[in-house]
């Protein structure tokens, strides 16, 4: 299990958790200032893949140069280098996820969740 410390990027913590879990094939568990990634099967999660996914996500937002991604044992921290603050406009309901009970698929969108559930009952 890997813990990702998001103290400096709290506004995008939930979105980062979903993106990272999709990239590395893990199940995210949200906490107040961090999220944890648990493997779906008995395999361990490669921390290098998690770091790469976090950097790709930050690059997609255009703020990768303002943050360092640092690993210490099983804890990965995203640290602001120059006091940069991420401001994300509110999008209505936040931190609401739909998780498939059959395979662990996670999404923020109810319609995508319902469409996904249909594949289990074909």
Q: What is the pLDDT of residues 48-85, one digit of tens each?
A: 999 999 999 999 988 889 999 999 999 999 999 988 88
112 vs 87, which has greater pLDDT? Answer: 112
92 pLDDT more than 70: no
CB 32 within 8 A of CB 2: no
Judge contact between 1 and 16, C-beta under 8 A.
no
Q: pTM, whole model, 2 decimals? A: 0.70
Q: What integer best gives the mean pLDDT of the chain?
A: 87
* pLDDT the model gives residue 95: 60
């Amino acid at each position: 299990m890997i813990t990702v410390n998001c103290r400096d990027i709290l506004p995008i913590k939930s979105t980062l958790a979903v993106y990272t879990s999709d990239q590395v094939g893990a199940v995210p568990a949200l906490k107040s200032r961090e999220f944890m990634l648990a493997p779906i099967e008995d395999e361990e999660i490669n921390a290098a893949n998690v770091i790469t996914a976090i950097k790709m996500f930050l690059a997609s937002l255009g703020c990768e140069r303002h943050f360092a991604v640092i690993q210490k044992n099983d804890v990965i921290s995203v640290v602001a280098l120059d006091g940069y603050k991420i401001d994300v406009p509110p999008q209505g309901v936040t931190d609401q996820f739909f998780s498939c009970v059959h395979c662990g698929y996670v999404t923020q969108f109810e319609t995508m969740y319902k469409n996904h559930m249909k594949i289990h009952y074909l």
